[in-house]
Chains A and B, each alone.
Chain A
Amino acid sequence: MIKTEQLTKRYDSLTAVDDVSFHVGPGEVLGFLGPNGAGKTTTMRMLAGFVTPTSGRASICGHDVESEPLKAKAALGYLPEGAPLYGEMTVRRFLEFIADLRSLTGARRSQRLGHVIEHLQLGGVLDQTIETLSKGFRRRVGLAQAIMHDPPVLILDEPTDGLDPNQKHEVRTLINDMARDKIIVISTHILEEVDAVCTRAIIISRGRIVADDTPTGLAARSRYHNAVSMQLEQPAQLAEARAAVAALPAVAEVEVSERDARLTALPRAGATILPAVSELAVRAGLKLKELHLESGRLDEVFRTITA
């Protein structure tokens, strides 16, 4: 359980995090979204006990991060932004160092070391120094460090930042694997990630929470929610189709993209327009390459909320 109450961090004149309160419970994967500089990293650093809050409180599994920092840290696995590591150490030495700091001993120590090495596929690079590793491997070492002691709570600051699509996919698979029995908070500014891994998303802007919802709930706020998008086979029909669709009573607005002969009809609030639009397409003899119902565009919601 992660709990924050009116968490605030001020630097001189700047309020980096302003009155942030939320709870995260078991089984939840919380996506922490926001533009760069919105206060995501500062919030996570306060949860991890690296930055002291100016006011307000935060606790990890019931342990206050200020009054019981060691207990809070013991319950937490944390991947700092950019996954800083000790570059001159070999992967093996580094993981052993972390296992020691996590007070793992005896059979449990070797079992956990074996587990993270296997789980993050680090077996092949154990004796390489960390500075010679690729970015993807370095991130994996960072994650290995975070899950070394099998913590109930994981906080990962931009775990996929700077990785290529394959590596991003790997990291997301890992997070999904762990999601069942852990509380996970990840920060990101990549919106596809929210759909891929999160059960809940908090959007933060200028230090304040501006939205707290499920990814589906957020998408539903989009003006594209329940919009109908279709692509025509003959671009020549575009103008004609546009006029016909716009004339439908439930359609609020029609957007046209000449480039790929695509037409998007936005519904009036609460209206369902798919049946009407598809019927119209048949009636008007429009040849369609594709027709689909949009669930909403997160990036558009994100821009609207944080602008």
Chain B
Amino acid sequence: MRNVGIIMRRELASYFATPLAYVFIVIFLFLANVFTFYLGHLYESGQADLYPFFTFHPWLYLFLIPAISMKLWSEERKSGSIELLMTQPVELSEAVLGKFLAAWIFTALAVALTFPLWITVNYLGHPDNGAILTAYLGSIMLAGGFLAIGSCMSALTRNQVVAFILAVVACFMFLLAGFPLVLDVFRSWAPQPLIDAVASLSFLTHFESIQKGVIDLRDLLYFAMLIAFFLLATAIALELRKAD
């Protein structure tokens, strides 16, 4: 497991070696604030909480997270550096985990940089800081789910643009799994238990209670299992296709 840390640090440093990290952070902060103030009406709502802020996170992540995850494996396969990495004495699982953690920590850093909003609401009133902290945690778990899906899509193709699009589509399905748009596809033929199962996979349902400040172990478990599942799928996809 020592290798996980080594690979993670290399990966994380590589974000900051290119403009990618800075561009991403600037755009993320800009959009997060636009959504919060213009669409969420933080001021006009007259309440000292960050609900208008967190409510847009799933939609913000839908396009921004695949932009991070698309290069995780596509780039390695395109440049051939995956051959260099996988011929070192490293387990595939260590590489998958190391690279995922780097992307997750980077995203968490971008999310943490929204702290001026938190200071703002504390300045304006007396928000429930415990709830805000919980919502931050939920948001980072949600980002982890998006990233794990993106990692898997990135392992499927050498083309980063294709990886991006696949990730957006897959994340969109998970986001809306509880909504008629997705459920109607199943409704015509699937038995009710399957429809319920699909509906229960929705990101939004699981994120909703957390963003209000309610920690339900089942929601955390949901995201943890989702991440584990897609990282496993990433490893399988790589095992099958790494040398293609």
Q: Does B89 contact A (CB under 8 A)?
A: yes
Question: Who on chain B is nearest to A149 by CB?
Answer: B89
Of the four ranges (under 10, 10 to 19, 20 to 34, 35 or more), the interface on chain B belongs to 20 to 34
Mark B6-32 against chain A: 1 for CB-CB distance below 8 A, else 0: 110010011001100000000000000
Question: Who on chain A is nearest to B91 by CB?
Answer: A70
Question: Who on chain B is nearest to A88 by CB?
Answer: B17
Q: Is the interface of B mostly helix, strand, loop or mixed?
A: helix
Bound form: Cα–Cα A171–B172 in Å? 51
What 3 pairs between A and B have smallest CB-CB spacing? A84-B80, A80-B83, A88-B17
Q: Does B192 contact A (CB under 8 A)?
A: no
Known: A45-B243, A74-B89. A86 touches B83 (CB 8 A): no
**Using a Cβ cutoff of 8 Å, how many contacts connect chains A and B?**
65
Contact A70 B87 (CB under 8 A): no
Mark A40-68 against chain B: 1 for CB-CB distance below 8 A, else 0: 00000100111100000000000000000
Of the four ranges (under 10, 10 to 19, 20 to 34, 35 or more), the interface on chain A belongs to 20 to 34
Contact A84 B88 (CB under 8 A): no
Most buried by A among B2, B7, B80, B87: B87
Q: How far is the CB of B219 from chain A (nearest CB, A)?
A: 37
Contact A86 B81 (CB under 8 A): yes
Known: A80-B80, A86-B81, A101-B3. A50 touches B87 (CB 8 A): yes
Give chain A residues whose Cβ lies under 8 Å from the Cβ of B90: 73, 101
Known: A45-B83, A89-B17. A50 touches B89 (CB 8 A): no
Q: Does A98 contact B (CB under 8 A)?
A: yes
Contact B88 A101 (CB under 8 A): yes
Bound form: Cα–Cα A78–B89 in Å? 11
Q: How far is the CB of B9 from chain A (nearest CB, A)?
A: 8
Known: A93-B13, A129-B17. A49 touches B6 (CB 8 A): no
Give chain B residues whose Cβ lies under 8 Å from the Cβ of A145: 84
Q: Does A22 contact B (CB under 8 A)?
A: no
Bound form: Cα–Cα A84–B243 in Å? 13
Q: How far is the CB of B243 from chain A (nearest CB, A)?
A: 5
Q: How far is the CB of A37 from chain B (nearest CB, A)?
A: 15
Bound form: Cα–Cα A93–B6 in Å? 12
Bound form: Cα–Cα A85–B79 in Å? 8
Give chain A residues whose Cβ lies under 8 Å from the Cβ of B243: 45, 50-51
**Interface positions of B from 132 to 186, Cβ below 8 Å from A:** none
Bound form: Cα–Cα A102–B2 in Å? 11
Bound form: Cα–Cα A155–B90 in Å? 18
Bound form: Cα–Cα A145–B3 in Å? 17
Partner of B18, one of A49, A71, A85, A88: A88
Question: Who on chain A is nearest to B5 by CB?
Answer: A100
Partner of A97, one of B10, B17, B79, B86: B10
Q: Does B206 contact A (CB under 8 A)?
A: no
Q: Does B242 contact A (CB under 8 A)?
A: yes
Give chain B residues whose Cβ lies under 8 Å from the Cβ of A48: 83, 87
